[in-house]
Chains A and B, each alone.
Chain A
């Protein structure tokens, strides 16, 4: 609809949209692998949105800041460990140890942020049964507060890039190299997703989460400690965001910036909605899809700006056709 309107605008000498199909064919596989890598990061972050939305029916706008705090956790750990712009020549064991340490710190930073966010911002609202709009505005306010607190402390520039290890191609598929980094990110993300899904469907706490998601009042009557479940959900979201932060910094060392999580967060939320919010598998599907759409779009249209436009249009279209997302909502409710 909008494009047709735009064609009515006065013509200019340059065309504003071109489709470069040969380029897409040529770069298809590398775009696919890169898209999947980034998509896995989206998916991990999307899980945080999905879980919180599932139990509280709240778009936790500040989840992107939970994520960026994890990135800062990684950054400070690595700079404490003495990493610099160039990858040090470390043994494999040392690299793993360092990575694990960074992961733990990132997870702690993110989980702690999520915990504080819940306690300081959302819980007081829940106590007095505030309407949903109030929750949403609080979430936006919290997101801003965290972002610009970082801004006040660390300034507008991204933190210097710290390289953990040199990424190397390991094998070739369809004439395209696959890098160890890509493989690590995708596999680790999928493993974490599987664990999360298992945890939610099998464990006692997981059952509690599902019960609260379905019907908080009944769940409380059945002896589920709602408050505990909610805080747990936030913390799990934080843990996953912390892991995503490590992978993100591995891939984009200069991405540690006060507002570095904002756009990524919006995209991850879009991914969650795309797959079906409240649905763990949906988050994975939505994340990967969005990663792929982004990369294909950039190559096809030769302008990365289109990818945001396309991503949002896809989201709106999916919502119009399937308001429940592709896989539907399953964590909680069947009610629209």
Chain B
């Protein structure tokens, strides 16, 4: 009886096949000239092969003469498990690398490293953060990576005067809380949006930009600053949902609008299938996304369609700093990911403080406050709110199935 069912199914499938054969025989118009999409905007911006690292960038190794107590500890607090684990892994691998390099060079100062898991969940974050602040040996923290959990726990660091540098949380309001212990190791959304807008209308030469944002704090905030920057070039907006897989409604709006560029303000989980479906429907313009899209997963999931994609990111292309890339790869058996270098640099700032003799919480805090040096990825100097003074936004594109940097944008 099952056999019968399978047979009928096969019959149906065969019908399907024949139908498809019919379709394929019909000479399909070249998709580039078929539907929607403005003229070809294939702007050819050459990829960078290496970037200039500051000559006197501070490295974790220091001068090798540092001494410190055996209890001196740095901590990473953030997601280690859960749906957002990958981002956390990228970061603490970077931190781990910095600490390993430091300890190897400084026999007299073996800094310990502790990790606390928040799953990226604000409701769970108070437990690990409180635990970390209770441990007297911990004098500096890298984290927390997400804006929500940072908001939920910033006051605990403040109460305990424990310095922490976030390598990934980009919500602009985070620095409005009057916290003196919070430092952001990268540019916030308010920096990236205008730069992205400038990049799209300038270097990419787009005239009609369609903006699609997801429902995250990140997507909404970035969407707003970008659309402000785009001005009259913006011809339409649409909103999608986290977890959405089918974007046909949004795509038909875009195709009808004859946009020549689409800016997607969100993460790759939705951005990748969106780009893929967009191109499958014959879109020939460019696709631009922020750092939330800039991940190898984007290319994996969008497939060939990703070749039209550009990214903006207030992050340095760490993979282009050969020393960092090779060391990271040797230690973790994978390429550095998004925010790996931010984690590395943040740890370096703290380690340099320890090496300079700032070995309690108060001293390390004031060390970070007055820090003014080059890191591997950028110059680190914070204003009194904890924002970097001159964060740089970089552009990236997809070339031969890889994300490659194209230099600083928006300047």
Please say whether the chains A and B touch (CB closer than 8 A). yes
On chain B, the residues within 8 Å of A38 by CB distance are 246, 248
Smallest CB separation, A35 vs chain B (Å): 8
Q: Is there contact, CB below 8 Å, between B297 and A157?
A: yes
- What's the A-B contact tally at a CB cutoff of 8 Å? 194
What 1/0 flags go to A298-336 for Cβ under 8 Å of B?
A: 110011110010000000000000000000000000000
Indicate if the CB atoms of B34 and A236 lie closer than 8 Å: no
- Judged by a CB distance under 8 angstroms, whether A43 is at the interface is no
Q: Is the interface of B mostly helix, strand, loop or mixed?
A: helix
Instruction: List 11 additional contacts besides A85-B306, A170-B26, A295-B248; criterion CB under 8 Å.
Output: A35-B248, A92-B21, A95-B24, A104-B10, A157-B86, A161-B300, A169-B34, A170-B28, A195-B12, A264-B245, A302-B237
In the complex, chain B residues whose CB is within 8 Å of the CB of A95: 20, 24
Contact B240–A304 (Cβ < 8 Å): yes
Cα(A232)–Cα(B5), bound, Å? 10
Docked-complex contact B304 and A158, CB < 8 angstroms: no
Contacting pair B252 A304 (CB below 8 A): no
B256 CB–A CB distance under 8 Å: yes
CB < 8 Å: which of A84, A264, A299 contacts B249? A299
With the chains together, A295 CA to B303 CA distance in Å? 25
A sample of 22 inter-chain contacts (CB < 8 A) reads: A27-B253, A85-B303, A85-B304, A95-B24, A96-B21, A107-B9, A161-B300, A161-B301, A165-B24, A169-B29, A169-B31, A176-B252, A183-B23, A188-B15, A192-B12, A243-B13, A251-B246, A252-B246, A254-B302, A264-B245, A305-B241, A308-B241
Q: Is residue A19 within 8 Å, beta carbon to beta carbon, of the partner chain?
A: no
Q: Which chain A residues numbered 224 to 267 have a C-beta less than 8 Å away from chain B?
A: 232, 235-236, 239, 243, 251-255, 260, 263-264
Say yes or no: A260-B245 contact (C-beta < 8 A), given A100-B10, A254-B302: yes
Q: Separation in Å of the B275 CB from the closest CB of chain A?
A: 10
In the assembled complex, A163 has its CB within 8 A of some CB on chain B: yes
Q: Assess the B15–A304 pair: CB atoms within 8 A.
A: no
| A187 interfacial by beta-carbon distance below 8 Å | yes
Q: What chain A residues lie within 8 Å of B12 (beta carbons)?
A: 188, 191-192, 195, 243
Report the minimal beta-carbon distance from A84 to chain B, rounded to whole angstroms.
Answer: 8
The 3 closest A-B pairs by CB, nearest first: A85-B303, A168-B28, A34-B248
CB proximity of A288 to chain B, nearest CB, Å: 14
B85 near A302 with CB under 8 A, answer no
Q: Are A161 and B277 in contact (CB under 8 A)?
A: no
The complex places the Cα of A112 from the Cα of B267 at a distance, in Å, of 35
In the complex, chain B residues whose CB is within 8 Å of the CB of A130 = none
Tell me if A304 and B1 are in contact (CB < 8 A): no
CA distance A145 to B9 in the complex (A): 29
Contact at B9–A27, with CB atoms within 8 Å?
A: no
Contact B272 A254, beta carbon cutoff 8 Å? yes
Query: Is A303 a contact of B28 with CB atoms below 8 Å?
Result: no
- A218 in the interface, Cβ–Cβ < 8 Å? no
Contacts of A263 on B, CB cut-off 8 Å?
Answer: 243
Q: Report the interface size class on chain A.
A: 35 or more
Q: Find A156's partner among B5, B24, B31, B86 (CB 8 Å cutoff).
A: B86
User: Does A212 sit at the interface, judged by CB under 8 A?
Assistant: no
Chain A residues within 8 Å of B322, by CB:
none
Q: Judge whether A87 is part of the interface by a CB distance below 8 angstroms.
A: yes
* Contact A305–B253 (Cβ < 8 Å): no
Q: Report yes or no: A169 in contact with B304, Cβ–Cβ below 8 A.
A: no
CB pair B249–A34 under 8 Å, yes or no, is yes
A138, CB-defined interface residue at 8 Å: no
- A251 and chain B: residue at smallest CB distance: B246
Q: Which residues of B contact A (CB under 8 A)?
A: 1-2, 4-6, 8-21, 23-26, 28-29, 31, 34-35, 82-83, 85-86, 215, 237-241, 243-246, 248-250, 252-253, 255-256, 269, 272-273, 276-277, 280-282, 297, 299-304, 306, 401
The answer on a CB contact under 8 Å between B273 and A254 is yes
- Rounded to whole angstroms, the CA-CA distance of A289 and B300 in the bound complex is 33
Which of B9, B11, B256, B281: most chain A CB closer than 10 A? B9
Given A85-B303, A251-B246, check contact A161 B276 (CB 8 Å): yes
> Quick check: B250 and A180 within 8 Å, CB to CB?
no
How far, in Å, is A189 (CB) from chain B's closest CB? 9
Contact A298 B250 (CB under 8 A): yes
Q: In the complex, what residue of chain B is closest to A87 when comparing beta carbons?
A: B304
Which of B244, B273, B299 is within 8 Å of A304, CB to CB? Answer: B244
| Set of chain A residues within 8 Å of B21, measured between Cβ atoms | 92-93, 96
Is the CB–CB distance between A239 and B9 below 8 Å? yes
Contact A184 B23 (CB under 8 A): yes
A92 CB, min distance to chain B CBs, angstroms: 5
B253 touches A23 (CB 8 A): yes
B303 in contact with A86 (CB, 8 Å)? yes
Q: A253-B303, A295-B249 are in contact. Are A302 and B14 (CB under 8 A)?
A: no
The proximity string for A residues 168-199 relative to B, scoring 1 for CB distances below 8 Å and 0 otherwise, is: 11100000110110011001100110010001
Question: In this complex, which of B2, B23, B26, B244 has the most chain A Cβ atoms within 10 angstroms of its Cβ?
Answer: B23
Is the CB–CB distance between A232 and B253 below 8 Å?
no
Contact with B along A182-224 (1 / 0, CB 8 A): 0110011001100100010001010000000000000000000
Which chain B positions have C-beta within 8 A of A177?
34-35, 282
A100 touching B13 in the complex, CB below 8 Å, given contacts A30-B255, A85-B303, A235-B2: yes
Cβ of A167 within 8 Å of any chain B Cβ, yes or no, is yes
Determine if A99 is an interface residue (Cβ-Cβ < 8 Å): yes
- Distance in angstroms between the alpha carbons of A296 and B82 in the assembled complex: 34
Contacts of B24 in A (CB 8 A): 92, 95, 165, 168, 180
Bound complex: CA of A138 vs CA of B269, how far in Å?
Answer: 30
B103 vs chain A, min Cβ distance (A): 31
Report the bound CA distance from A157 to B85 in whole Å: 10
B303 and A163 within 8 A (CB): yes
Minimum distance in angstroms from B217 CB to a CB of chain A? 14
Residues in chain A near residue B82, CB distance under 8 A: 156
Contact of B17 among A99, A199, A295, A303 (CB under 8 A): A99
Contacts of B269 in A (CB 8 A): 158
Closest A residue to B239 by CB, please name it.
A303
A231 to chain B, nearest CB (A): 10
Judging by beta carbons under 8 Å apart, are B35 and A169 in contact?
yes
